[in-house]
Amino acid sequence: MKPRILIVDDEESIREFLEIMLKILCVLDFFANFAWNLNMKWVWFILYVKLNLITCEFHLLYKKNKYTQMKQYGLIGYPLSHSFSKGYFAEKFLKENITDANYDVFPLEKIEDFTALYQNKENLIGLNVTIPYKQQVIPFLDELDETSANIGAVNTVKFTQGKRIGYNTDAYGFEMSLKPMLQSHHTNALILGTGGASKAVEYVLKKLGISF
């Protein structure tokens, strides 16, 4: 008979399952000691082996669920040797006491590798997108929010309910940084660059009525 694999994916289920497992282990331990005291060594041996097998299975299951619960975030782009994102988020998670999240960098030599990445990372929750893929990633997404659709570039991908949804936070960040410094004579701007980030800058300048 093939063993059944149980995956519990929330803290309450894990706690309930742990309580059940502990009760089973205690009962088996009681009968194993009882059999030993009655000199029924063959019964003791069977119970002892079963006790250890269940303990090992529980540890494996717990590790599996712990891995499944770990939320995976990351950054895609190429090259990424210069990126400080992994260290930044590691420190951020530590300071915020976030223990169920991990952040890695995923250098993709070509955007087509994006498909293999999200298919092989079942616990992938979100990705940041940097050069040169802020525009190239769009055909691989299921949806775009209104802002990223208007900009034509994405710097964030959220994985939810089997869908890949693109967002653009460059625009919000640039607008919030620019607004406090704007004065009445600021009516023209010069944009250096033509990449995905520049598209977010164009979007904000148009929104604010500033020529460029």
Residues designated as active site = 134
Q: DSSP label at 44? A: H
- 3-state per-residue secondary structure call for 105-135: EEECCCCCHHHHHHHHCCCEEEEEECCCCCC
**Calpha distance 94→163 (Å, rounded):** 29
Q: DSSP label at 4? A: P
Amino acid at 17: F
Strands (E), the chain: 71-77, 101-107, 124-129, 143-144, 156-160, 163-167
- Encoded tokens for 62: 């717990």
Residue 166 and residue 156 in contact, taking contact as beta carbons nearer than 8 Å? yes
Distance of CA 40 to the CA centre of its chain: 52
Residue 115 and residue 132 in contact, taking contact as beta carbons nearer than 8 Å? no
Nearest to 64 by CA among 134, 8, 132: 8
